[in-house]
Amino acid sequence: MSLSPRSAALTTYALSSPIHQSWESALADVVGVLRIQYRSDDDVRLFLDSAEKVRHLQQSIAAKMEWNRRVIKEEMDSGIHSPPRARRIAKEVAIDFIRRYLDGEEEKLSMYRRLQDIQREKEDTLSTVLEYEREMKKVKDENAKLAISNQNLREENELMRTDKDELKLDSQKLKTENDQSRDENDRLRLENGKLREENKKVRQENQDLRNENGALRSENQKVRVENQKLRDECDDVRGENVKVRSENQSLRDENQEVRCENLKLRDNNASLRDENERLRSGNGTLMSDNRKLIQDNLELNSREDEMRMLVNIQQSILAGKAGASKEALRLQQKSHNDDVVDDSS
């Protein structure tokens, strides 16, 4: 596998974001760790000690693509970005590509040795042919054997050419896989852009909800202030009722219905206090509680109007009865005076 540098730029995952690492920085972070971890492996250690080979690995498009693919897959699965995970993946990708590089070097070395053996055999064969040409007449049988040996060498050369074609096919497959990886990377970038747009919309909706929540809280505070005013007015009404009861102590029997009505008003005020407490405790959903509070305020205003009307009626009744009582006392006093005058006469 070739690790030669290329001038083409590689599209990496979210390079514009400052929190994501690049392949080069991640590999630079793990090279020292790999040297310590594989210090007992001579081939890997020699590769890592070579600055030229490490530089080729950093510039390898296939390694970058493989690292980007694994990082994107794990980040899409987990939903979060983790620099330690990116460095771990860089270490795994680096070891995989170093192993492939070493395997490729061993194959090249083996092929080179076979070529050297074939070359030596060819040279030996040529020298033998020269010697056999001098002794052609004597060694025709041996010359036939050499021809067979040459045929075997040709077959081996043909096999080597076949291996070379297979290597070309593998290179073509790698190019195809590289193109597919680029297409997948572009698709993932488009999906990432869509997810970012959707995230912006969700954030805007969240901000709108927060603004609406603030408005509801402000309106709820106003309603609480109005409720406090209503409570104060109810307290004033209670004070007035106490005064009326103290003034009308002598008329309890006649004002039984008024007292019953006052009891009903106190019950209504108690229910209003309970309702207000329920509204305070049940403020989990602001919209529904606000509508309920407005409805309760309307009912409270209606009841307050009724209560004021009843108090006014009660005061008018009491005023009329007090006037009637005064007139009866005046007439009684006049009758008494007349009786006294008659007696004196």
Residue pLDDT tens, the chain, 345 long: 444 433 333 334 444 344 467 898 888 888 888 888 888 888 888 898 888 988 888 888 988 999 999 989 888 888 787 888 888 898 999 999 988 888 876 566 555 566 666 666 767 777 776 776 777 777 677 767 777 877 887 787 777 778 777 767 877 887 787 788 678 768 867 876 786 787 688 688 868 878 886 887 888 688 688 878 878 886 886 888 688 678 768 767 876 886 888 788 888 878 888 887 887 777 678 888 788 888 888 989 888 888 888 888 988 888 887 777 777 778 877 777 777 556 655
pLDDT of residue 285: 80
Q: What is the pLDDT of residue 172?
A: 80
Largest CA distance in the chain: 202
Q: Is the CB of residue 286 less than 8 Å from the CB of residue 213?
A: yes
Residue 293: both structure tokens together:
């509070």
Report the alpha-carbon distance of residue 58 to residue 10 in Å, rounded: 12
Rg from Cα positions in the chain: 52
C-beta contacts of 36-40 below 8 A and 24+ residues apart: 38/95
